[in-house]
Homo-oligomer: A and B are copies of this chain.
């Protein structure tokens, strides 16, 4: 039995909880997987590095539009992969080493399970430790969900955990799923020359996005890839060098590799939460209040284990809040989930913040909407853009921005002034006219979207 001031389960955003406030305290850091969590190792960071290479390949393919002729001679998959993980893996190892050999912390490289309210059973290899702590933070993240039709079929498949480490590009890939992970990998593989098939049960891809974005993205996806919408997978089979999904329609969709990207579920199932009496939501997330507290005193949670967002910037925010709250019990800060943006690094790129148009109308707001085409601005002319849009949803009476939904180059950066405006309560006309927008920068798309809103 070893007692700690703080025990952290999971080293994604949880790893940042070891602040200087704990310099003279005893901290346990428990990790059964890769140090640094999903984002660093198998999530946002490596995927965006692949996406960038994909963007370069797409630029080459499209160069003739601009009067520049080029040939895509080839893609060195192993070089791309090794460049990316050659950068990431040492960071993972360094993070692990710092917790194993660094100051203040005791690292347990194994699995933790609650056996009581602030009591853990930690298994490292064959060795089992009993760990107690005044404060325990559940920051265990989430994992890929694999539908039974696949898992029980016995066919070989990849998830986002493994697909980036394959040795050779396949000639074709079938991607099961229509969300952001599926869409990003479809973009990466198709840009790198792989024949992409997408199978999703949704009637559209990216269906959590604003309806217009989702519809237009789906139309563009359909032009690039072999997309099967509203498809129910009833089974799968494999033969030498091929995996086939069996759809309820009777259709078979086959490819050299199968990637399953049908969503992620919080890593809470194997934590023994019941034994500690820690409450969870129906989807498995740990129930927390606005301060990150579970129902059990001294037990906290953050990130994908408890948050519905499954976004690294949200997990980081929650970690900062919990880090504060752990040492300031009389001055608790609340999570700020008012205006959480997100992006999908596809081609075109997608970004959004706030309410979709449909949600805004449902909310009873007096909604006004402007859809600004990138092609209607000078930089859009330069890009010869014909598909990109910046949609803003605002309240006709208060003139406040309710949401923005962007599909086009640099969407994830272009949307920032809107996030800023919403976060600080600036009205659309104020933001549009209260500052300069450099002419003819791409940011003029935002200015024009705001100016296009009609108010009373």
Chain A interface (Cβ < 8 Å from any Cβ of B): 39, 44-45, 48-49, 51-53, 56-57, 59-60, 63, 66-77, 79-80, 83, 87, 311-314, 316-317, 339-343, 351, 353, 378-379, 381-384, 410, 412-417, 419-424, 426, 430-431, 434-443, 446
- A68 to B75, alpha carbons, bound, how many Å? 5
- Beta-carbon contact of B436 and A339 below 8 Å: yes
- Beta-carbon contact of A67 and B60 below 8 Å: no
Residue of B nearest to A61 (CB): B70
- Beta-carbon contact of B48 and A379 below 8 Å: yes
Q: When the two chains form the complex, which single residue of B68, B341, B442 contacts A412, counting CB atoms closer than 8 Å? A: B442
Residue of B nearest to A426 (CB): B424
- Beta-carbon contact of A382 and B68 below 8 Å: no
- Interface SS majority for chain A: helix
Contacts of A66 in B (CB 8 A): 52-53, 56, 80, 83
- Beta-carbon contact of B378 and A44 below 8 Å: yes
A372 → chain B, closest Cβ, in Å?
A: 15
Q: When the two chains form the complex, which single residue of B60, B424, B435 contacts A70, counting CB atoms closer than 8 Å? A: B60
Contacts of A71 in B (CB 8 A): 70-71, 73
Contacts of A57 in B (CB 8 A): 63, 68
Contacts of A415 in B (CB 8 A): 438
Contacts of A339 in B (CB 8 A): 435-436
Contacts of A412 in B (CB 8 A): 438, 441-443
Contacts of A437 in B (CB 8 A): 313, 416, 419
- Beta-carbon contact of B45 and A440 below 8 Å: yes
A-B contact pairs, 15 of them (CB 8 A): A44-B439, A49-B382, A53-B67, A53-B68, A57-B68, A60-B60, A69-B73, A69-B74, A87-B381, A312-B439, A313-B438, A340-B436, A341-B436, A343-B438, A410-B413
- Beta-carbon contact of A351 and B438 below 8 Å: yes
- Beta-carbon contact of B419 and A442 below 8 Å: no
A187 → chain B, closest Cβ, in Å?
A: 14
Q: When the two chains form the complex, which single residue of B79, B83, B417 contacts A416, counting CB atoms closer than 8 Å? A: B417
- Beta-carbon contact of B378 and A48 below 8 Å: yes
A15 → chain B, closest Cβ, in Å?
A: 15
A94 → chain B, closest Cβ, in Å?
A: 15
A279 → chain B, closest Cβ, in Å?
A: 27
